[in-house]
């Protein structure tokens, strides 16, 4: 029961890793070489099918070259002659399955083995399926392909070699060395040991162990047996019985496959990018702001503020001439008071705002934007392999065609706060009109005196202020004071214009930053998140 519980926990853990591998492969699609992604998906499909078809059964395959005595060993383990040994090459033409107990058909169908035999279940071999594979060095291509296919599917591989060909290059280079990661589910049997004296047999075993260790297979059990005399056969039977009772052999084999596939994907996924730093973000916003005409709009705000301030605080006799000068913001179609109502502060709906008359993004401006997009993508994907970094760059350009319209819309819908309350302007305006009224009163007084003098009528009373005629004080004082107030107000207007331009620039840059976030950084960030998700899933799958 304890072993069954261990097997269930192992299978459950493997199922979780399979899910992570499938997720990692899905996220890596189009970013990693298709053959690597395809291998990972094949591993997931194979493992899921293997776990679905009788995970309690252990499939052991006897594989080897022609003349190694593989079929004789199969018969010895079966306790009867099922496979036909012979000297004809190749001997085994197709795989044969022997099960102790009724093996489920879906398992053997999964293995695609047609020749099937069943023996009565034994306590030490219950739920064991033993396969006799074709010779891996067969002259028949179909036989070699069958071996290659089943080697990838079985739970435990028993390689049968003989004293003459245990160092065969084909066996070691094409099968053992590439499967070094599967050493935990591999056994090597040196058959025909009865043909050698004891000393030579021991030397042969030591040399085989040395050779396997040099290939990264030092922990693979090496058993010396004789299928003819039965020498060493009990040791092999005991090993198989232990693997069957363990009930984790299948999961161990699949876990190695999952780890290898995950590590292959991880190798091509690489480390995470450095992301978009504050300096890169600011560089992008600066480039987009320049392309959107933010400096031009800020300058227009400065000039419009000065012009409107001069109209409000200047000497009325001269300032009215400024009304004939075009307003810089209206010329750019950026006067929100036209859309919100004169002097209003209502929000302007983006859908009702037309294009500005700012110059479209082109020439040097477009080149600067492209350079900023390239720079932010390269900084974000630094350290990533080409497949992933290419997709990060593509993501940064995904909405590039919409940038000009979105930037123009951002500028046109930004509240430049030109209608903010400026109480001192109103105070100065009232004062200027009072001073103008005083000057006009002085003009009328002097004019009336001249008229009375012309008509030879008695003049008006001689009124003096500060020893000067009152009409002269009214006229001169009104004009002089109006000009002085206008000059002093000009200083305040200029200072206010600078603050208004800076305030407008900040508001515009915030609007541009939102466009950068939506059209550049958001899709770029999604790709970075995808990469991080792929790494996280693959690291969990690799264990």
The DSSP annotation for 507-519 comes to HHHHHHHHHHIII
Segment 229-253 mean pLDDT? 88
pLDDT tens readout for residues 275-319? 788 888 888 898 888 888 888 888 888 888 888 888 888 888 777
Q: Which of 118, 73, 112 is nearest to 92 (CA)?
A: 73
**What's the longest Cα–Cα distance across the chain?**
161
According to DSSP, residue 293 is labeled T
Q: Which of 265, 316, 313 is nearest to 531 (CA)?
A: 265
The alpha carbon torsion through 31, 36, 40, 42 (nearest 10 deg) reads 120
Neighbours of 325 (CB within 10 A): 11
Q: How confident is the model at residue 338, as a pLDDT?
A: 42
Residues 6+ apart with CB under 8 A from 282: none
Is residue 357 pLDDT above 70, yes or no? no
3-state SS string for 144-167: HHHHHHHHCCCCEEEEEECCCCCC
C-beta separation of 515 from 281 below 8 A: no
Is residue 431 pLDDT above 80, yes or no? yes
The residue with greater pLDDT, 97 or 336, is 97
Q: How confident is the model at residue 90 (pLDDT cuts 50, 70, 90)?
A: very low
What strand order describes the sheet that includes 128-132? Answer: 115-119, 96-100, 128-132, 58-64, 156-161, 186-190, 222-224
Neighbours of 309 (CB within 10 A): 23
According to DSSP, residue 92 is labeled -
Q: How confident is the model at residue 401, as a pLDDT?
A: 82
412-451 burial, b at 16+ Cβ within 10 Å, e below that, comes to bbbbbebbeebeebeebbeebeebbebbeebeebbeeeee
Q: Which of 240, 255, 237, 219 is nearest to 55 (CA)?
A: 255
Q: How confident is the model at residue 4, as a pLDDT?
A: 46
d(CA 543, CA 533): 16
* Conformation bin of residue 385: beta by default, left when phi > 0, alpha when psi is -120 to 50: beta
Q: How confident is the model at residue 12 (pLDDT cuts 50, 70, 90)?
A: low
Segment 531-540 mean pLDDT? 94
Q: How confident is the model at residue 444 (pLDDT cuts 50, 70, 90)?
A: very high
Is residue 362 pLDDT above 80, yes or no? no
């Amino acid at each position: 029961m304890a072993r069954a519980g261990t097997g269930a926990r192992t299978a459950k853990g493997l199922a979780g890793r399979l899910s992570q591998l499938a997720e990692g492969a899905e996220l890596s699609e189009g970013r990693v070489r298709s053959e690597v992604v395809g291998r990972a998906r094949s591993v997931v499909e194979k493992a899921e099918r293997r776990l679905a078809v009788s995970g309690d059964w252990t499939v052991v395959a006897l594989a080897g070259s022609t003349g190694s005595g593989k079929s004789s060993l199969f018969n010895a383990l079966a306790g009867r002659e099922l496979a036909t040994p012979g000297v004809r090459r190749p001997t085994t033409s197709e795989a044969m399955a022997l099960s102790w107990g009724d093996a489920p058909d879906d398992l053997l169908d999964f293995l695609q083995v047609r020749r099937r035999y069943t023996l009565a279940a034994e306590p030490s071999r219950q739920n064991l399926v033993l396969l006799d594979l074709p010779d891996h060095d067969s002259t028949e291509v179909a036989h070699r392909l069958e071996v290659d296919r089943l080697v990838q599917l079985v739970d435990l591989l028993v390689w049968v070699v003989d004293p003459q060909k245990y160092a065969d290059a084909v066996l070691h280079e094409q099968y053992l060395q590439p499967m070094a990661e599967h050493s935990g589910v591999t056994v090597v049997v040196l058959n025909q040991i009865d043909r050698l004296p004891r000393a030579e047999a021991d030397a042969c075993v030591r040399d085989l162990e040395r050779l396997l260790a040099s290939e990264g297979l030092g922990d693979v059990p090496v058993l010396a047996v004789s299928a003819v005399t039965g020498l060493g056969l009990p040791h092999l039977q005991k090993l198989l019985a232990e693997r069957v009772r363990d009930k984790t052999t299948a999961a161990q084999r699949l876990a190695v496959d999952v780890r290898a596939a995950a590590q292959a994907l991880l190798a091509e996924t690489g480390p995470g990018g450095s992301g978009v730093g504050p300096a890169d973000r600011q560089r992008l916003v600066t480039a987009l702001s320049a392309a959107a005409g933010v400096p031009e709009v800020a300058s227009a705000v400065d000039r419009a503020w000065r012009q409107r301030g001069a109209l409000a605080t200047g000497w009325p006799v001269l300032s009215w001439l400024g009304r004939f000068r075009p307003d810089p913001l209206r010329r750019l179609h950026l006067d929100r008071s036209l859309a919100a109502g004169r002097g209003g502060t209502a929000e302007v709906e983006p859908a009702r705002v037309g294009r500005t008359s700012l110059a479209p993004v082109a020439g040097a401006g477009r080149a600067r934007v492209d350079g900023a997009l390239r720079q932010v993508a390269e900084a974000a994907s630094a350290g990533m392999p080409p497949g992933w970094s290419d997709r990060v760059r593509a993501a940064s350009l995904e909405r590039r065609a919409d940038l000009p319209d979105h930037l123009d819309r951002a500028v046109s819908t930004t509240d430049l706060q030109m209608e903010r309350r400026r109480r001192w302007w109103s105070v100065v305006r009232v004062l200027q009109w009072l001073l103008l009224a005083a000057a006009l009163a002085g003009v009328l007084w002097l004019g009336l005196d001249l008229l009375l003098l012309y008509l030879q009528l008695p003049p008006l009373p001689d009124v003096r202020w500060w020893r000067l005629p009152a009409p002269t004080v009214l006229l001169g004082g009104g004009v002089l004071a109006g000009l002085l107030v206008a000059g002093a107000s000009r200083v305040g207007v200029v200072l206010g214009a600078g603050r208004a331009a800076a305030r407008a620039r900040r508001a515009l840059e915030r609007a541009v930053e939102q466009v950068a976030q939506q059209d550049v950084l958001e899709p770029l960030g999604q790709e970075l998140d995808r990469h991080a998700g792929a790494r996280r899933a693959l690291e969990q799958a690799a264990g």
